[in-house]
Amino acid sequence: MTGQVAALWRHPIKGIGAEALQTVALSPNRPLPGDRAWAVQHAGAPTDATGWRPCREFLRGASSATLMAITAQTAADGAIALRHPDRPDLTVRPDADAQALLDWLLPLWPRDRPAPTRLVKAPETGMTDVAFPSVAILNTTSLRALGQRLGQELDQRRFRGNIWLDGLAPWEEFDLVGQEITIGTARLKIEERITRCRATEANPDTGQRDAATLQMLQEGWGHQDFGVYACVVASGDVAIGNTAEVA
């Protein structure tokens, strides 16, 4: 397997805002820096829990498709600028402006669901979607294959990945589970496939569901998986254009 880094993304607040990157420094047993560093709990989540918590306790696109239309940009001082087509632009410092963020999100969250109530800081190992410090690696060729089945072009942001690779065969990323790969100067171990939720059905420009991604994955390939989770095992830098290959 030999590929090339096509795109890098992080999501400073879990489920809320995608941010494109050009380069990133990875560290062992850590998520991509700044990825899902914060998360917004809803009123149905326990308030006394600490450490990593499951997705169901937080605001996310599976529960509100309109959240998928949020973009983010992180400043050097840690401030996060958020944009959404239906909301005024907002810049927050998560450690100081939690209430402003909750107020901004409330109109984007379904009224019949527990309201956003608390912004929590992720542990050092991150608040990624699985209970280990994961980096999500996705395949642009698999994205094109799925889009062709659906008859529409699919935006990478639907799948909230971290590292997108070009040059692989469709679904070749699944064959890497259990193997180590080098990307740039970093080394990662591919741990497991990513099973998807309804967040992928939403258009990240509009926040409206417009693609039956889960149904098509099931009908076309007999599963609802897209991409793989990896753990960083050796530190290094990754940039767009870098080579990825089996270690």
CATH of the domain at 158: 2.40.33.20
* Distance (Å, whole) CA 198 – CA 212: 9
Query: Which domain range does residue 199 map to?
Result: 2-31+130-246
For the segment 191-212, the average pLDDT, to the nearest whole number, is: 98
Residue that terminates a domain, selected from 63, 90, 121: 121
Residues 83 and 45 in one domain: yes
Distance CA 176, CA 207 (A): 32
Among 43, 162, 178, 64, CA closest to 110:
64
Alpha helices by DSSP H, listed for 49-120, are 98-105
Cβ neighbours, 10 Å, residue 110: 11
Q: What is the mean pLDDT of residues 21-45?
A: 97
pLDDT in tens, 80-112: 999 999 999 999 999 999 999 999 999 999 999
Give the whole-angstrom CA distance, residue 112 versus residue 102. Answer: 16
Looking at the fold, whether 138 and 116 belong to one and the same domain comes out as no
pTM score above 0.95: yes
How far is 52 from 76, CA to CA, in rounded Å?
26
Asked whether residue 69 falls in the same domain as residue 153, the answer is no
Q: Which of 121, 142, 171 is the last residue of a domain?
A: 121
Same domain, 153 and 168: yes
Could you tell me if 197 and 227 lie in one domain?
yes
Residue 35's pLDDT is: 98
Question: Binning pLDDT at 50, 70 and 90, where does residue 47 land?
Answer: confident
Residues 201 and 226 in one domain: yes
Task: Give me 41's structure tokens.
Answer: 């709990």
Place 49 in a pLDDT band, splitting at 50, 70 and 90.
confident
List the one residue out of 119, 242, 223, 125 whose CA is nearest residue 171. Answer: 223
Structure tokens at 45: 């989540």
Domain count, the chain: 2
Tens of pLDDT, residues 227-246: 999 999 999 999 999 999 99
